[in-house]
Amino acid sequence: MTQEPPGPSAARLLVVDDEAVQRLIVARAAGTLGIAADGAATLAEAVERVQAVAYDVVVLDLGLRDHDGIELLRSLREAGSDAVLVFVSGFDERVRQAAARLAAALGLRVAGTLGKPLLVDRLLALLRALPERTGAKRAEEAPDIDPALLAAAIENDEIICLFQPKVTLQDRRLVGMEVLTRWRSPALGLVRPDRFIPLAERSGLIDRLTDRIMAQSLELFRPWRQQRPELTLAINLSPISLTDLTLPERVSTVLADSGVPPSALVLEVTEGAVMADYVAAADIMTRLRIRGVKLSIDDFGTGHSSLLSLLRLPFSELKIDQSFVRTCLHDPEAPKIIRAVVSLARELGLQLVAEGVETEPVAELLTRLGCAIGQGYLFAPPLSHAGLVERLRATVWAEAVR
Ligand code: G
Ligand code: G
Ligand code: MN
């Protein structure tokens, strides 16, 4: 039997423990089951992580040095997480059971509890028997949100910007970051973009929302850019925006207000968005390019667009979709596709970015295939502004920005 490929549905685990050895033991055990593990040593780190990443499993030490671990349960619920919990603790069985009941009362699922020292066999047994995740349907099942609530949220700055680094695969230099938004709602908790972006599109709020996201992220970005003029900021555009002929004007206005030069801004658009109304998209994109803004094809390889029509547009960057990147070690077709995309990008003078880089072996293979830039959990999940500053201080790419 060959190893299971870590397909798009590969499980992700977060281990929250202040002892590095414990984190390592859990990560190793998870690895043997093909589960990718992240670690967090403090509650703050764990909260940051669960807000950015949809974990399948959270292994939680109830006796963190600074906090009691229970506080994370609330954050998980607020983040709309459907992760299954495994509690670890040196406390007696009754404390662990009480924690498990509390989690259940908060609507979180608990796979089981483990004592300390941790028995790897018991952990493996729990991980093997994990219940199916429920998250895939969450966005559809969730009750409709009142557009008035979203409209107010946009005005009240409840929409926050997270930043995910793009780095050079070989020497791990920071070259830019992508903005990924979240809605921090006092009424609803943390709402993910796949829930509120479509709502904004349906209810005529998308222009206002996009303008706010651009203004807010550019303002946070400006000081970084001043120190490192080669950094770029990438913002995702809704397909609707690519039918709005006033977009280039709006982008210029936001840029002028922010003091960031147009060449530092990358707008990411998906293939489908371009093909929906090709003439309007070509018009808008050409005018954006004339103004100096860069354009990126997002999720490349997932649409059903005409390659020729797509590549005639004035793109500056191409982001190869996660589905090829994550399978490239196991699926013999994936490296061939990546190699072809590398040469296509080279011929057309497009910067190529690999999305969803989760492991070192994948980063190595991508480098060998000729891909220079990557983005993914291996380097960092989407981070808050403070989180990114903190990470920059602690990482090799520290020289990038201080
Ligand atoms: O980070 P996350 O997994 O939650 O992102 C989910 C999807 O939401 C991605 O496809 C991403 O492109 C999209 N998204 C995130 N932020 C924005 C945004 O500011 N505008 C638009 N239009 N899409 C966004
Ligand atoms: O659709 P778009 O490419 O704009 O959005 C990128 C999405 O991928 C975001 O939802 C982001 O949170 C997620 N993401 C970023 N890095 C990784 C990764 O390494 N693995 C996985 N599974 N998702 C990632
Ligand atoms: Mn994107």
Name the active-site residue from 268, 271, 317, 355.
355
pLDDT at 401: 45
In eight-state DSSP terms, residue 145 is P
Question: Which mutation among 184, 196, 197 tests ligand 1's pocket best, with the greatest number of atoms within 8 A of CB?
Answer: 197
Express each pLDDT in 258-271 by its tens digit: 999 999 999 999 98
Express each pLDDT in 313-343 by its tens digit: 999 999 999 989 988 998 888 899 999 999 9
Tell me how crowded residue 110 is: count the other CB atoms within 10 A of its CB. 20
What is the C-alpha separation between 257 and 93, in angstroms, rounded? Answer: 58
Question: Which mutation among 164, 213, 236, 384 tests ligand 2's pocket best, with the greatest number of atoms within 8 A of CB?
Answer: 164
Query: In this model, does residue 236 exceed pLDDT 80?
Result: yes
Virtual torsion, Cα 234, 238, 242, 245, nearest 10 deg: -100
What average pLDDT is seen over the chain? 87
- Which atom of ligand 1 lies nearest, measured to the CA of 206? 22
Q: How far is the CA of 376 from the centre of ligand 2 (A)?
A: 7
Q: How far is the CA of 51 from the centre of ligand 2 (A)?
A: 13
Q: How far is CA 369 from CA 112, 213, 297, 337, 340, in A?
A: 43, 35, 20, 10, 9
What is the C-alpha separation between 131 and 325, in angstroms, rounded? Answer: 27
Report percent pLDDT > 90 for the chain.
57
Express each pLDDT in 340-364 by its tens digit: 999 999 999 999 999 999 999 999 9
CA angle, residues 272, 150, 243, in degrees to nearest 5? 30
Q: What is the pTM of this model?
A: 0.74
Residue carrying structure tokens 């380097």: 379
pLDDT category of residue 4 using cuts at 50, 70 and 90: very low
pLDDT mean over 107-121: 84
pLDDT category of residue 66 using cuts at 50, 70 and 90: low
Q: Which ligand is nearest to the CA of 205?
A: 1
pLDDT at 102: 80
**Range scoring the smallest mean pLDDT among 52-56, 149-153, 156-160, 166-170:** 52-56
CATH 3.20.20.450 maps onto the chain at 147-401
Express each pLDDT in 203-232 by its tens digit: 999 999 999 999 999 999 999 999 889 999
Spatial CB neighbours of 145, under 8 Å, sequence gap ≥ 6: 188, 191, 195, 196, 199
For the Cβ of 356 lying below 6 angstroms from any atom of ligand 2, the answer is: yes
Q: Whose CA is nearest to atom 24 of ligand 1?
A: 236
Instruction: Check if 355 is active-site.
Output: yes
For the Cβ of 51 lying below 6 angstroms from any atom of ligand 2, the answer is: no
Query: In this model, does residue 5 exceed pLDDT 70?
Result: no
Query: In this model, does residue 113 exceed pLDDT 90?
Result: no
Q: How far is the CA of 354 from the centre of ligand 3 (A)?
A: 11
pLDDT category of residue 9 using cuts at 50, 70 and 90: low
Q: How far is the CA of 176 from the centre of ligand 3 (A)?
A: 13
Q: Which fold has domain 147-401?
A: TIM Barrel (3.20.20)
Kindly list the protein residues whose Cβ atom lies closer than 6 A to any atom of ligand 1. Answer: 179-181, 192-194, 197, 213, 236-238, 382
What is the C-alpha separation between 94 and 80, in angstroms, rounded? Answer: 27
Q: What is the CATH number of domain 12-128?
A: 3.40.50.2300
Closest CA to 170 of 361, 397, 320, 364: 364
Report percent pLDDT > 70 for the chain.
92
CATH 3.40.50.2300 maps onto the chain at 12-128
